[in-house]
Structure 1
């Protein structure tokens, strides 16, 4: 008994230090939630409290991987969006140097003002986009939200490049990006509505529709 206790500590530490591998998911061959499988492990409230109070490290790591799999696409699109905003900002800096316009001045040749307005407009809509992206991804469907996010970022890039060339070339991309935002709003609203109805009222709309 004493030897077993002496070996438990190092063994527990070794298990906690092992890297996560996708092959571990094969331990669960059914759709039933199980702590042995990071893909299907969906802890209850009590299990979550147990994890927070000091559950084995391998359980916490399994749960973390399962949770990250539900948001990794959203995180990737968010990073791409931040990089796009940085690119737009650098274009404004380049335009300021090119036309000799120092901050805080925002007036100058039409070429500069178009670039400046394109960057400002894109940055104004970016927080709205990120909020809708994550809500639609968490409550409706991550893959759909991520795909819509990529479409939005591409349309914003087309908007910026079109606005830089001509004011009229910005219209089609801005209309398209606005349409994508409305789809994200619809997805987020439906997802939140389904969550509240099923969680607080006990009404599963999807099952009713399927029936």
Structure 2
């Protein structure tokens, strides 16, 4: 069992804006991470959420302001209206699942590379060539983009069921071994403090 179960979506701008802070926190505390990509739209429908396009205009406007504020705070390049969003998140999620199983590279770097491709580089993360490039940059065999698709689909579906059962309702979402839940990249400081407290 990992010290931190990390539920996220490769389509989530807030998952992108987390940057590599989870990995930095994990390294600081010697904590392991289980990466669990989920179908965010299915998660919303199962847990009372609403897809961004269907929200009330006041919520849509606030989300746009908050994303730009958070991007400035993190210093990450960010495009509020990327050219290829929304797109099919399954292929990139399957690649992450295959990379976790295969090992040999940096999963955190892979996740961030895929998210950055969508939110800062205007690339379509449903496309094979984009996924292969992200895999290679993170130290994985780019052929993983084409392997283990059935296992990827099964794991992706299982991640969703597990997320719903464990009280996950958005992304990014972090659950520690002792059951503490943290929703959003703006709660990473709280996660850091909690890990320090239970370690200490």
Q: TM-score, normalised by structure 1?
A: 0.29
Name whichever structure is richer in helix by fraction: 1
| Structure number, greater radius of gyration | 1
Query: Scaled by the length of structure 2, what TM-score is found?
Result: 0.30
Q: Which has the higher contact order (CA 8 A, sep 6+)?
A: 2
